Structure 1
Amino acid sequence: MELNQIIDTIYPLSATSQHKIKEYITETKLPKGHLLFKANTVETSIYFIKKGIARAYAYSEENQITFWLGKEGDPIVSMQSYVTNQKGYEDVELLEDCELYELKIDQLQKLFLEDIQIANWGRKFAEFELIKSEERLIALQFNTATQRYLALLKNHPSIIQRVQLSHVASYLGITQVSLSRIRANIK
């Protein structure tokens, strides 16, 4: 996904403001399996996925719990680091070879002080991330596993096709065996 499209999806900027923010964005390519973020680290960048797919996970006592899956156009951000400049709790793994746009948080913070449109863009960015987290929490609390799977299938079919079923099951809050049963019942 192209950078202009990603920026405008969050909050449309004037050509001048868009040019300012793009001056601080670099492109990077990283391989499948790369750990982009590591838990207990203050992350200094946010990323936007140009091409590829990633997951965020944390450890429970016995295994990894995938709580976020991202694809083209999605941001990769440790909100703990972005908002409070504190250590994040998540690891972020690239599940495919990825092309990413990188923006240093400290440079973005400076732009917030210089340009009200970019400050509003940053506010909208944080608001959208909050809404996504809230929707996810509500779905986990109130929807059945089948409903969560069907919603993922409807809203993000490419994730089902591109991500290992073990990660999808973890993301849905179920076992891989339960996911297999749900998939069999739907077919």
Structure 2
Amino acid sequence: MNINKILDNIYPLPENSRANLEKHITEVSHPKNFCLMEADKIVPYIYFIKKGIVRAYASTEEKDITFWFGNEGEPVVSMKSYVENNPGYENIELLENCELYKLETENLKKLFNEDIHIANWGRKFAERELVKTEELIISRQFKTALDRYKDLMRDKPDLLKRVQLGHIASYLGITQVSLSRIRAEIKF
């Protein structure tokens, strides 16, 4: 997905503002299994996925717990680093070879002070990330694993073909055996 479409999906910018923002965006590629962001470190960048899939997870002593997947067109950001300039709590792992757009947070914050359109874009960006987090929390608290799986099928069907079942089970908060039962139940 090209950067113009990604930026416009967040909030359409006038041509001058978009061109100014794009001057600060570079393209990078990383291989599958690359750790894009590490827990307990400040991440001074925001990424946008041009091609590929990533997952966010937190580690416990026993296992990694996946709580988010991102694919083409989506931002990848440690909100704690972005908003507070503090170390984040998540690890971001690339599940495929990925092509990404990279934007240094410090440059973006300077642009907020120079261009009201970019500042509004940044506000919309933060608002969208907040809503996604709220939806995730509500889903985890009030929906069954079956309902969350159905939501995943509806909202991101390509993930089911591209992501290991172990990561999907972790995301749903269930075992792979339970995921197999859910998948069998849905086929009927």
Q: CA deviation at 1:54?
A: 0.3
SS in 2 for 1:96: coil
Q: What is the aligned partner in structure 2 of residue 175 from structure 1?
A: 175
Tell me the percent identity: 59
Q: What is the aligned partner in structure 2 of residue 65 from structure 1?
A: 65
Number of residue-to-residue matches in the alignment? 187
Where do residues 37-186 of structure 1 align in structure 2 (5 Å cutoff)? 37-186=37-186
Q: CA deviation at 1:60?
A: 2.1
Q: CA deviation at 1:55?
A: 0.4
Opposite residue 100 of structure 1, the aligned amino acid is L
SS in 1 for 2:158: helix
Q: CA deviation at 1:176?
A: 1.1
Q: What is the aligned partner in structure 1 of residue 36 from structure 2?
A: 36
Opposite residue 54 of structure 2, the aligned amino acid is A
Uncovered stretches (5+) of structure 2, i.e. residues with no partner: none
Q: CA deviation at 1:3?
A: 0.4
Q: TM-score, normalised by structure 1?
A: 0.99
Cα deviation code 1:85-118 (max 9, x no counterpart) = 0000111000000000000000000000000000
Q: What is the aligned partner in structure 1 of residue 9 from structure 2?
A: 9
* CA distance in 1 between partners of 2:4 and 2:171 (Å): 29
Q: TM-score, normalised by structure 2?
A: 0.98
Uncovered stretches (5+) of structure 1, i.e. residues with no partner: none
* CA distance in 2 between partners of 1:121 and 1:160 (Å): 31
* CA distance in 2 between partners of 1:148 and 1:56 (Å): 17
* CA distance in 2 between partners of 1:71 and 1:44 (Å): 21
Q: CA deviation at 1:59?
A: 1.0
Q: Aligned-pair RMSD on alpha carbons?
A: 0.6
Q: CA deviation at 1:173?
A: 1.3
SS in 1 for 2:121: helix
* CA distance in 2 between partners of 1:7 and 1:141 (Å): 31
Q: CA deviation at 1:56?
A: 0.7
SS in 2 for 1:157: coil
* CA distance in 1 between partners of 2:42 and 2:106 (Å): 12
